[in-house]
Chains A and B, each alone.
Chain A
Amino acid sequence: MSNSHQLKRVDFIFRNENDWKKVLSSTLKRKPAELINELISSELKGRGGAGFPTGLKWKLTSEEKSEEKYIICNADEGEPGTFKDREILSKVPCKVLTAMAVCGHVIGAKKGFIYLRGEYKYLEPELKKAIDEFEYYCKEIDFDFSISIFMGSGAYICGEETALLESMEGRRGEPRNKPPFPSQHGYLGKPTVVNNVETLVHAFTIFKYGAKKFYDLGVQYSRGTKLFSVSGDTPKPGIYELELGMSLQDFVYEFGDGDTKAVQVGGASGFLVPRKKFKDAAIGFKGKLTGISLPTGGSMMLFNSSRSMFNVLDNYLEFFSEESCGQCTPCRVGCQQLLLGIKAVKRGDKPAAYLDKLMRLTETMQLTAKCGLGQSVANSFSSIVENFREEMIY
């Protein structure tokens, strides 16, 4: 086997470390500005999928003048094909809590929340125990910080940070206009950091081992490791921590079943990559490497040649039609019309050229939808229709 086929497995996130108390007490002794610099130099980017630089987010929030500030851990993991945050919260909750407390120290927040999706209600009892132990230790070291769990109630869109804030304030989970960003105007109008579960675990790693250890992994613009949730037609489904920047070819070599037809990268809101493009595609943030760079939410769904891409797209569009919050017209009506449209083409009620009209509709949605949900429907739609057009028609 040649070296190019070796994926770089790493083990930071789930490494069994019982030293969070030591990491917390020693990190809290450091100055906020120093910790922000550490994060910025690590080049850690948000692991929920959007990829905003975490250090910058903390810095912006720390610069806001306010008596009240908040740190929220976004555990509303709802992207199809993603299941890493559940694993983190059940295996290494104290790493997440530690990073939240450090964030509180950096930005000046005394209160943290974990927004846990309703589908993960069964995690609540154990997580509460971990929080109790954690808060007890915070008291011991005289650090004023508390964490509460806020349960979601079954809404994918609440993973969007401003929809999440609306939900916590007791409203429909409809995304807000940005700006202002949560760093200025977040929960209850106060400056708020909203970080993905995995982002916080990486922050823990960085505070424990230093930015360099993290920075040395991955590739330019996509530093560090990432948890990948692997499912679909694969002999080894599961959760894997890998270095960023790997090529999809190498990934399929490792996880494919020998008959991989396409891989959906980044969940239903991500891209479908057909076999012929595997070698040109790399997993990382935009603006680096050559060829296609793919999103980094970590959802990897493999499809083999027995799968109909029409059924796959049909399933995604049904998902989006149901989960669209309905607030803005392009997304609400667009998702419904795309679903009706592909069915009509399949039945023969509409000519094949109707697919091009639908493609233009997704472009409109990308330009005019208010939040990431409506904008990203175009990703999977166009990548499936472009690459498997015949399967949409016949």
Chain B
Amino acid sequence: MDSIQSLIKSLADEYGRKRESLLPIMQAVVEQEKFLSEYSMVEIAREIDVPAAEVFGTATFYSFIETKPTGRYIIRICKTISCAMKGKNQVLFAIQDMLKIKMGETTPDKRFSLLETNCLGWCHKAPAMLINNEVYTELTPEKVRDILTSYMKKNVEN
């Protein structure tokens, strides 16, 4: 049994082998592996006994279930109206400039992926972004450079 298989088996043991467990299991795989591969989808389908096509259909519906490999840190910058009005683009340029990647790309060292997302619910402290599950608000180009620097240091230490 490979590591994905045993991960999925232990998740199915934890959440139960039923359709309602599908989303929690997929979320946990993404948390661990940073994305949900087709191989993982087939394994989940086998483990909880639903058609693989249904797992694929469900997985691809949700924007936080990544189906392509991503970096260790996923940056999701909010592009909805309040953030767009409060200088989201300047922040985005600062990130792209610093990481040398474009929207939707991952750094070659697999540390950072950069994505846009819809309203994060921080409109009063716009612009906002998520790095994995952490939220950062009232961003400016200077502030975002500091934040990214701290993440880069984290990486070196690990």
**Which of A's residues lie within 8 Å of B, judged by CB?**
77-83, 85-86, 117-122, 150-156, 167-173, 188, 229-233, 237-239, 264, 268, 301, 303, 307, 311-312, 315-316, 318-319, 322-323, 325
User: Does the CB pair A121–B82 fall under 8 Å?
Assistant: no
User: Does the CB pair B20–A83 fall under 8 Å?
Assistant: no
Across the interface, B27 reaches (CB within 8 A) one of A86, A153, A172, A311, namely: A153
Q: How far is the CA of A173 from the CA of B23 in the complex (A)?
A: 11
| Chain A residues in 8 Å Cβ range of B20 | 168-170, 188
Q: How far is the CA of A150 from the CA of B121 in the complex (A)?
A: 18
Q: Which residue of B lies closest to A234 (CB)?
A: B124
Q: Which residue of A lies closest to B125 (CB)?
A: A237
| Chain A residues in 8 Å Cβ range of B130 | 119
User: Does the CB pair A319–B121 fall under 8 Å?
Assistant: no
Given contacts A83-B124, A238-B124, contact A154 B85 (CB under 8 A): no
Q: How far is the CA of A166 from the CA of B36 in the complex (A)?
A: 21
| Chain B residues in 8 Å Cβ range of A319 | 80-81, 118-119
Contact with A along B78-101 (1 / 0, CB 8 A): 011110110000000000000000
20 contacts between A and B (CB under 8 A): A78-B119, A80-B82, A81-B123, A82-B121, A118-B62, A120-B121, A153-B26, A155-B61, A168-B20, A169-B19, A170-B20, A171-B22, A172-B58, A172-B61, A268-B81, A301-B123, A315-B84, A319-B118, A322-B118, A323-B118
User: Does the CB pair A153–B80 fall under 8 Å?
Assistant: no
Q: Which residue of B lies closest to A323 (CB)?
A: B118
Q: Which residue of B lies closest to A318 (CB)?
A: B79
Across the interface, B23 reaches (CB within 8 A) one of A120, A167, A229, A315, namely: A167
Q: How far is the CA of A122 from the CA of B130 in the complex (A)?
A: 10
| Chain B residues in 8 Å Cβ range of A311 | 84
Q: How far is the CA of A307 from the CA of B21 in the complex (A)?
A: 45
User: Does the CB pair B133–A80 fall under 8 Å?
Assistant: no
User: Does the CB pair B21–A170 fall under 8 Å?
Assistant: yes
Q: How far is the CA of A121 from the CA of B120 in the complex (A)?
A: 11
Q: How far is the CA of A154 from the CA of B120 in the complex (A)?
A: 10
> In angstroms, how far is the closest chain B Cβ from the Cβ of A322?
6
| Chain B residues in 8 Å Cβ range of A229 | 123-124
Q: Which residue of A lies closest to B57 (CB)?
A: A172
Q: Which residue of A lies closest to B121 (CB)?
A: A83
For residue B11, CB closer than 8 A to chain A, the reply is no
Q: Which residue of A lies closest to B62 (CB)?
A: A153
| Chain B residues in 8 Å Cβ range of A85 | 121
For residue B135, CB closer than 8 A to chain A, the reply is yes
Q: How far is the CA of A86 from the CA of B61 in the complex (A)?
A: 24
Q: How far is the CA of A188 from the CA of B57 in the complex (A)?
A: 20
User: Does the CB pair A86–B80 fall under 8 Å?
Assistant: no
> In angstroms, how far is the closest chain A Cβ from the Cβ of B32?
15
Q: How far is the CA of A231 from the CA of B125 in the complex (A)?
A: 8
Contact with A along B119-142 (1 / 0, CB 8 A): 111111110001001110000000
Q: How far is the CA of A384 from the CA of B23 in the complex (A)?
A: 38
- The residue in A153, A232, A264, A303 that gathers the most chain B C-beta atoms within 10 A of its C-beta is A153
> In angstroms, how far is the closest chain A Cβ from the Cβ of B30?
8
- The residue in B62, B123, B134, B135 that gathers the most chain A C-beta atoms within 10 A of its C-beta is B123
User: Does the CB pair A119–B121 fall under 8 Å?
Assistant: yes
> In angstroms, how far is the closest chain A Cβ from the Cβ of B46?
15
Q: How far is the CA of A312 from the CA of B63 in the complex (A)?
A: 23
User: Does the CB pair A170–B64 fall under 8 Å?
Assistant: no
Across the interface, A156 reaches (CB within 8 A) one of B19, B85, B118, B124, namely: B118
| Chain B residues in 8 Å Cβ range of A155 | 61-63
For residue B77, CB closer than 8 A to chain A, the reply is no
Q: How far is the CA of A117 from the CA of B26 in the complex (A)?
A: 15
| Chain B residues in 8 Å Cβ range of A78 | 118-119, 121
Q: How far is the CA of A82 from the CA of B26 in the complex (A)?
A: 28
For residue B24, CB closer than 8 A to chain A, the reply is yes
| Chain B residues in 8 Å Cβ range of A153 | 23, 26-27, 62-65
